[in-house]
Every structure is written in C-alpha cells, then in structure tokens.
Amino acid sequence: MPSKPTEATHPNRAAFPAGMGGPSLRALHGAGVRSMAGLEDRTEAELLALHGMGPKALGILRDALAASGRQFRSP
C-alpha cells in the first residue's frame, strides 16, 4: 500500500495545484518558491532547469497561473 504524501515528500502541497508530483514540489521548495505568487518571479526556463521539474508540472503551473490572470516572468 502506497504511503501517504507528507510535508517532507510533498512540501507546500496545499499551495500548488492538484496533480503536482513530489519531485516538482521538492524542486520548487528547494528553489525557494513557496506559493503560486512566487512563480511570477521566475521564467519557464528557470523552472525547467530545476532538477525534478518537468514539462507536465510546468504545464499544470502555467494553466493555474493563467486561470488566475497571471503568468511566469518573461525572459
């Protein structure tokens, strides 16, 4: 039986959209991004360069930002 996600394996899980995996959440945490608002200070390229962040997670974040009228920082 799979273990339940914890703050150690999925940091700040409640601050980000559903569907974000542990590696991407840990990557954001390690980069100091603690909320969706913190994503506006980063470019997509900066986030993709993080170990654990992939295209699926980036798409989830992009869609969530767009739904609230926000976006990543322009390069």
pLDDT tens column, 2-17: 678 888 888 899 999 9
Q: Which pLDDT score is estimated for 37?
A: 96
Between the alpha carbon of residue 69 and those of residues 31, 37, 59, the distances in Å are 23, 11, 15
How far apart, in whole angstroms, are the C-alpha atoms of residue 74 and residue 43? 6
Q: Which pLDDT score is estimated for 73?
A: 97
Domain spans in the chain, listed from the N-terminal domain onward: 22-67
Question: Six-digit token pair at 32?
Answer: 């100091």
Question: Six-digit token pair at 60?
Answer: 């989830």
**What predicted TM-score, i.e. pTM, was given to this entire model?**
0.90
Report whether 46 contacts 56 (CB < 8 A): no
Residues of the chain under the 50 pLDDT cut = none
Q: What is the CA radius of gyration of the chain?
A: 12
Q: Which pLDDT score is estimated for 47?
A: 97
